[in-house]
Structure 1
Amino acid sequence: MNHLFDAVTLGLLALLPLINPPTTVALFLALSQGFSREEKNQQAFLTAFYVFIIMLVTYYIGEFVMGVFSISIPGLRIAGGGILVVIGSSMLFPKPRVATVGDDGGKKTSFAFIPLAMPSTAGPGTIAMIISASATIKNSTNFPHWVLLTAPPLIFLVTALTLWGCLRASDLIMKLTGESGIDAISRLMGFILVCMGVQFAINGSVEIIQMIINNNAQIIRTP
């Protein structure tokens, strides 16, 4: 059991900084304006559930899927960056809401999967880390085989539960900030998302350029 505890602890120390629950909570507050408490709780649960599924699928078949569709990590970063820029722009410059007589707000759009679960929480960095860790862990001899089979699902489950608990506590933050505070958080998070999206795209582009340079260098060295 000590081996299992050590493996789960190491996994959480690697994942939680990438997941960054406080940032997700701020984005959750910005996107859940006008939602009832029940709707917020549902979105919080779905977000945590989707994050768990994304991490689990990524660990077991992520490398295979990316290989089948010829998707590279730089390509994943650029695509995720583009999504964040679009979503961040809509939050930074929200369209004025036009109220109509008898309008109860209509059916609200779920934001649990996009952008909360992906790419905000389980984003390109998290996916890349899980895929690389999967390849490393499968060849690892530091832990017993049963630990290597048991630890990853437990790590993802604890991570998802931690995220769910943080999102459920967002009502406390809502009471402290008020509606004007949430609007300010929404615009701030929109700006941050745009910056994150641009940075993702830059990182992906730099990685592609480095790959091209390395390939050319290998060609030149080849006699």
Structure 2
Amino acid sequence: MSILDILKYISIVVVGLLPIMNPLTTIPLYMALTSRMTPANKKLQAKKACFYAFCILSTFLLLGNGIIALFGISIPGIRVAGGIIILILALRMIFSGEDSSSSVDTETTEIKHADLDYSFSPLAMPSLAGPGSIAVVMGFGSQIPDGSYMLGYSIVIIGILITISVAYLALASAHIIEKFLGEHGVQAVTKIMGFLLTCVAVQFLASGIRDFYIEFSTM
């Protein structure tokens, strides 16, 4: 396989995965969860979230079928679980404009900054490495021809890495958006994005329930 072919397949992975991951939709959630954090911790949360997302997608690429068989879960199950998590957070964003971590009424710097760790859940999973992204990665893995597993998995992993890098750049630029909008603007955008995330969560739940119905009706 030539270098041009490798680059072509890597681009196919990126083009297929990036719209599903859509890191732009993670920005309002990231801004809401890290609104009281120090700039250094915000940057750390973005780095850790992207690292965890890369690990999750790579693990499901290599061991996805085994994980699903071992724990008896399915993509519809992951979709429903992700929908529930996103729905809870989205409703908090709508009705309070903030996550509960920043609602503690105290003057101490440690609690005011609410330096909690949201990097794995919900930022990495289900936001960046959600059921859709997992399904896409497993789909690419299933298309690798026999005898080319090493090269095929390497191509998909490089594509995942490039996509995650784009996601990190999106999260790292969130402070620019936050500075431009100001405090009241961020609160308004948070409520609007909370509504949109609610729609996404309902769509996740509806898709998962539909897939469950199709799966069980064909048994």
How does the TM-score come out when normalised to structure 1?
0.87
Residue 184 of structure 2 corresponds to 180
User: Does residue 101 of structure 2 align to residue 99 of structure 1?
Assistant: no
1:98-138 residue CA offsets vs partner (Å, 9 max, x unmatched): 533x4224252121111111111111111112122212224
Aligned residues of 1:174 and 1:182 also touching (Cα < 8 A): yes
Structure ranking higher on relative contact order (CA contacts 8 Å, 6+ apart): 1
Q: Which runs of 5+ in 1 are unaligned?
A: 216-223
Aligned residues of 1:91 and 1:190 also touching (Cα < 8 A): yes
User: Does residue 170 of structure 2 align to residue 166 of structure 1?
Assistant: yes
Larger Rg: 1
Aligned residues of 1:30 and 1:185 also touching (Cα < 8 A): no
Identical columns (%): 31
Counterparts in 2 of 1:57-68, with a 5 A limit? 57-68=59-70
Distance (whole Å) between structure 1 residues aligned to residue 181 and residue 162 of structure 2:
29
Q: CA deviation at 1:185?
A: 2.0
Choose the corresponding residue for 1:46, options 45, 48, 55.
48
1:36-69 residue CA offsets vs partner (Å, 9 max, x unmatched): 2111111111111111111111100111101111
Q: CA deviation at 1:212?
A: 2.9
Matched residue type, 2:139:
S
1:118-173 residue CA offsets vs partner (Å, 9 max, x unmatched): 1111111111121222122244x8xx665314212211111111111111111211
**Residues 77 and 178 (structure 1 numbering): CA distance in 2 closer, same or farther, change over 3 Å?**
same
CA RMSD of aligned residues (A): 1.9
Q: Which runs of 5+ in 2 are unaligned?
A: none
Choose the corresponding residue for 1:156, options 138, 157, 160.
160
Q: Indicate the SS of the match to 2:109.
A: coil
Matched residue type, 2:44:
Q
Q: Indicate the SS of the match to 1:137.
A: coil
Aligned residues of 2:21 and 2:132 also touching (Cα < 8 A): no
Matched residue type, 1:18:
I
User: Does residue 36 of structure 2 align to residue 34 of structure 1?
Assistant: yes
Residue 193 of structure 2 corresponds to 189
Counterparts in 2 of 1:48-127, with a 5 A limit? 48-94=50-96, 97-100=103-106, 102-106=107-111, 107-127=114-134
Distance (whole Å) between structure 1 residues aligned to residue 119 and residue 127 of structure 2:
10
Q: CA deviation at 1:70?
A: 1.1
Matched residue type, 1:184:
A
Would you say how many aligned residue pairs link Structure 1 and Structure 2? 211
Distance (whole Å) between structure 2 residues aligned to residue 185 and residue 109 of structure 1:
22
Distance (whole Å) between structure 2 residues aligned to residue 70 and residue 17 of structure 1:
28
Distance (whole Å) between structure 2 residues aligned to residue 84 and residue 202 of structure 1:
13
Distance (whole Å) between structure 1 residues aligned to residue 207 and residue 52 of structure 2:
25
User: Does residue 136 of structure 2 align to residue 134 of structure 1?
Assistant: no
